[in-house]
C-alpha cells in the first residue's frame, strides 16, 4: 500500500541542508561523478532519491524486484518506475528468480537477495560507467546491526556496524534517523511503500527494531545521539588498533613471490603477540585463537588448513600458503609444444650459445642428452641427482633439507626428468650436472621458469 504518513509535530525542513553539508564534507566525489541509487520503494530509498534530485546530483536508479511478495513486489516496482519516468531519471530494472537461486545455492533468502543485487549493481557499473552505488542505510539500521552483532558475539569490526563506504558502495544517509527520514518524506509529500514483513517480529532484526530499541529510546531520550558518540569512540579505537597492526606487519611480515612469512621471534617483541598474530591471520580465514596458539607452540611442520589457505609452522616462522587446486602429479612431454600445457610456466628454446648465466630459474642443457618423452613430476622416495657444478650424487630429500624447504614447499616442487629417469632439473632450484653444456655440445636448449 502507498504511505504518506502522519503529520509530524517536529519540523524536518533542515534535513536537506544537513544532507548537502554531509555530502560536501564526506562524499565530495558524488558531486562530480555519476552514482547508481539502489531504490526499493521504501521510505528510506525514496527519500534518498528525492535528496539526490534536490541537490541536482548526477545519478540513475536501479530497482530490484525479487518477486517474493507477489503483487506487492510489482507495486513497489511500479512506484519507483513511475517516479523516474515523471522526473526523467534513468531507470534500471531487474526481476530475479530469488527462490530458485536460494535453492540452487543453498543460502537464505536474505543472503540470496544480497548476492543477486550487488552482483547486478556491479554489472551495471561496468556497463554504464557508474562510479558509485548509493544505498539508503540509516542510523537506526546502524543500531540494529550493532545489537545483532553484539548478540551473536563479535569483535570491534562488528560493533562499528555498517561502514559509510565499502569500495564503490556509499551510504550517505547513515547519520540520519528513521524518524528524520519519515518526517522529511511527509513534509515533502513523498510517496513510499511499506513492506508488511517489516512489521512482524519473526526475524531478529525486526524483533530488535520493534521490541528492544523502543525501550532503549524510552530510557534515554537522546539514545541515538549517545549511540553515535559510542560509535565514534569505537571507530577511534578501531583506528588505533589498525595502526598497531600496521606496525606489527612492518616489523614481522614479509612477502615472497608465492608465500607470506611471519617472523615468530620478532613477533614476541610485541606485548600479547598472540593477539597480533590472531588479528593478522583473520584476513586469511584463521579465526580460532586457540588453534593459532597451539600451532605457535608446536614443533616445525605443524599445519592449519582452511578452504583457501594453509598456515605452516616452519622453524621460527609462520608461512601462509595459498592452496593450489589439486592437479596431476605427473605430466608427459612428448614435444616442445607440450611445454605450454604444464602446471608451471616452462619455456624451452633452442639457442646457439649460452647467452646468460645459469641460475635457479634459467638453465642450459645439452639437447642431445635428452631422451623423449620427458616427464614433469614430483619427487620419488630415495631418488638422487648430481647437483650442477658437482661430481658426486646427492639424495633429493637431502637437497631439500639443505635448502630448508618446508613440507608444503617440498610437495609443490616439480622435477623435470629424462626418459631414463635421470633428473634434468629440480625446477626453480638446481640443474643436474650430467646435462650441462660442454665443449663437445653441438645443440643447446635453454629452459626458463617464469614465476
Give dist(CA 137, CA 162) in Å, integer.
Answer: 8
Q: Are residues 338 and 435 in the same domain?
A: yes
pLDDT digit string, tens, across residues 222-280: 999 999 999 999 999 999 999 999 999 999 999 987 789 999 999 999 999 999 999 99
Residue 110 has pLDDT above 80, yes or no: yes
Q: Quick one: pLDDT at residue 12?
A: 59
List all residues 6 or more positions away from 89 whose beta carbon is below 8 Å from its beta carbon.
Answer: 49, 53, 59, 60, 61, 83
**The pLDDT value given to residue 278:** 95
Does residue 176 lie in a domain region?
yes
Separation of first and last alpha carbons in the chain:
61
Pair 244, 200 in one domain: no
Final residue belonging to a domain, choices 195, 219, 243: 219
Residue 324 pLDDT > 80, yes or no? no
* Average pLDDT over all residues of the chain: 91
Same domain as 243, residue 276:
yes
- Backbone angle region of 56, left / alpha / beta, with phi > 0 → left and psi within -120 to 50 → alpha: left
The count of other CB atoms within 10 Å of the CB of residue 209 is: 20
* Residue 232 contacts residue 226 (beta carbons within 8 Å): no
pLDDT confidence tier of residue 426, bands split at 50, 70 and 90: very high
126 CB contacts (<8 Å, ≥6 apart)?
Answer: none
Over residues 342-353, mean pLDDT: 89
- 63 occurs within a structural domain: yes
Identify the CATH number of the domain in which residue 90 sits.
3.40.50.620
Q: Quick one: cell of 365?
A: 642443457
The Cα 143–Cα 153 span in angstroms is: 15
Q: Which of 22-36, 52-66, 302-316 has the lowest mean pLDDT?
A: 302-316
Question: Is 187 inside a domain boundary?
Answer: yes
pLDDT at 327 over 70: no
Q: Please answer whether residues 44 and 80 qualify as being in contact, where contact means their C-beta atoms are separated by less than 8 angstroms.
A: no
**Which 8-state DSSP code applies to residue 7?**
P
Same domain, 22 and 135: yes
The radius of gyration of the chain's CA atoms, rounded to the nearest angstrom, is 31
Does residue 171 share a domain with residue 137? yes
pLDDT-derived band at 8, boundaries 50, 70, 90: very low
Which residue among 219, 250, 284 closes a domain? 219
Residue 112 clears pLDDT 80, i.e. is over it: yes
Q: Per-residue pLDDT tens for 203-229?
A: 889 999 999 999 999 999 999 999 999
Element (H or E) spanning 366, and its range?
strand 362-366
Residue 439 maps to which CATH number?
Answer: 3.50.40.10
Question: 411 falls in which pLDDT band (50, 70, 90)?
Answer: confident
Q: Answer yes or no: do 336 and 402 share one domain.
A: yes
- Whether 297 maps to a domain, the answer reads yes
- What value does the mean pLDDT take over residues 283-306? 92
| Whether residue 373 has a cis bond before it, omega within 30° of 0 | yes
- Residue where a domain stops, chosen among 219, 253, 285: 219
List the grid coordinates of 178: 528513521
Q: Provide the percentage of residues in the chain whose pLDDT is more than 70.
A: 96
Residue 228 domain-assigned (yes or no)? no
How far apart (Å, rounded) are the C-alpha atoms in residues 297 and 150? 32
Q: Count structural domains, the chain.
A: 3
C-alpha cell at 48: 534518498
Over residues 21-27, the mean pLDDT reads 96
Residue 242 CA to residue 245 CA, distance in Å, equals 5
Residues 214 and 245 in one domain: no
Q: What is the pLDDT of residue 155?
A: 86
On the question of pLDDT at 1 being above 50, the answer is: no
Highest average pLDDT, of 101-110, 340-349, 356-365, comes from: 101-110
Domain that holds residue 156: 2-219
Please give the share of the chain, as a percent, with pLDDT higher than 90.
77
- Domain identity same for 340 and 296: no
The strand pair at 59-65 and 91-95 is best described as: parallel
Q: Answer yes or no: do 199 and 286 share one domain.
A: no
Residues 87, 215, single domain; the answer is yes
Report the pLDDT value the prediction gives residue 409, as an integer from 0 to 100. 83
The band of 9, judged by pLDDT with boundaries at 50, 70 and 90, is very low
Q: Smallest Cα–Cα separation from 143: which of 208, 207, 60?
A: 208
8 Å CB contact between 129 and 214: no
* pTM for the model: 0.70
Q: Is the pLDDT of residue 115 over 70?
A: yes
Amino acid at each position: 500500500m502507498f504511505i504518506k504518513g502522519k503529520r509530524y509535530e517536529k519540523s524536518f525542513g533542515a534535513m536537506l541542508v544537513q544532507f548537502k553539508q554531509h555530502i560536501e564534507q564526506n562524499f565530495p566525489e558524488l558531486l562530480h561523478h555519476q552514482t547508481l541509487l539502489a531504490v526499493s520503494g521504501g521510505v528510506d530509498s525514496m527519500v534518498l532519491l528525492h535528496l539526490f534530485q534536490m541537490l541536482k546530483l548526477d545519478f540513475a536508479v536501479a530497482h530490484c524486484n525479487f518477486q517474493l511478495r507477489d503483487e506487492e513486489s510489482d507495486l513497489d516496482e511500479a512506484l519507483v518506475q513511475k517516479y523516474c519516468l515523471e522526473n526523467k531519471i534513468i531507470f534500471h530494472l531487474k526481476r530475479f528468480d530469488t527462490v530458485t537461486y536460494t535453492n540452487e545455492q543453498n543460502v537464505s533468502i536474505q543472503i540470496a537477495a544480497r548476492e543477486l543485487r550487488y552482483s547486478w549493481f556491479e554489472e551495471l557499473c561496468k556497463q554504464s560507467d557508474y562510479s558509485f552505488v548509493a544505498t539508503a542505510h540509516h542510523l537506526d539500521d546502524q543500531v540494529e546491526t550493532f545489537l545483532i552483532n553484539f548478540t551473536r558475539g563479535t569483535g570491534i569490526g562488528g560493533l562499528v556496524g555498517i561502514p559509510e563506504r565499502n569500495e564503490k558502495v556509499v551510504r550517505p544517509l547513515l547519520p540520519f534517523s528513521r524518524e528524520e527520514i519519515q518526517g522529511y518524506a511527509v513534509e515533502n509529500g513523498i510517496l513510499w511503500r511499506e513492506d508488511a514483513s517489516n512489521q512482524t517480529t519473526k526475524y531478529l532484526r525486526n524483533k530488535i527494531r520493534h521490541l528492544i530499541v523502543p525501550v532503549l529510546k524510552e530510557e534515554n531520550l537522546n539514545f541515538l545521539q549517545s549511540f553515535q558518540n559510542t560509535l565514534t569512540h569505537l571507530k577511534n579505537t578501531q583506528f588505533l588498533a589498525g595502526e598497531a597492526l600496521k606496525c606489527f606487519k612492518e616489523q614481522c611480515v614479509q612477502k615472497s613471490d608465492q608465500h607470506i612469512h611471519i617472523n615468530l621471534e620478532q613477533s614476541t617483541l610485541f606485548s600479547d603477540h598472540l593477539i597480533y598474530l590472531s588479528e593478522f591471520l583473520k584476513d586469511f580465514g584463521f579465526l580460532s585463537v586457540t588453534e593459532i596458539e597451539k600451532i605457535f607452540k608446536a614443533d616445525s611442520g605443524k599445519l592449519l588448513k582452511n578452504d583457501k589457505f594453509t598456515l605452516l609452522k616452519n622453524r621460527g616462522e609462520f608461512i601462509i600458503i595459498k592452496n593450489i587446486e589439486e592437479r596431476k602429479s605427473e605430466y608427459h612431454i612428448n614435444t616442445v609444444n607440450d611445454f605450454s600445457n604444464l602446471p608451471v610456466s616452462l619455456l624451452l628454446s633452442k639457442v646457439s650459445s649460452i647467452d646468460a648465466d645459469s641460475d635457479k630459474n634459467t638453465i642450459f642443457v645439452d639437447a642431445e642428452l635428452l631422451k623423449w618423452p620427458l616427464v614433469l613430476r614430483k619427487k620419488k622416495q630415495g631418488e638422487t641427482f648430481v647437483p650442477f657444478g658437482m661430481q658426486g650424487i646427492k639424495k633429493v630429500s637431502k637437497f631439500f633439507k639443505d635448502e630448508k624447504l618446508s613440507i608444503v614447499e617440498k610437495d609443490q616442487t616439480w622435477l623435470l626428468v629424462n626418459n631414463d629417469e635421470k633428473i634434468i632439473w629440480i625446477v626453480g632450484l638446481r640443474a643436474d650436472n650430467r646435462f650441462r653444456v660442454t665443449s663437445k655440445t653441438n645443440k643447446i636448449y635453454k629452459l626458463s621458469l617464469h614465476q
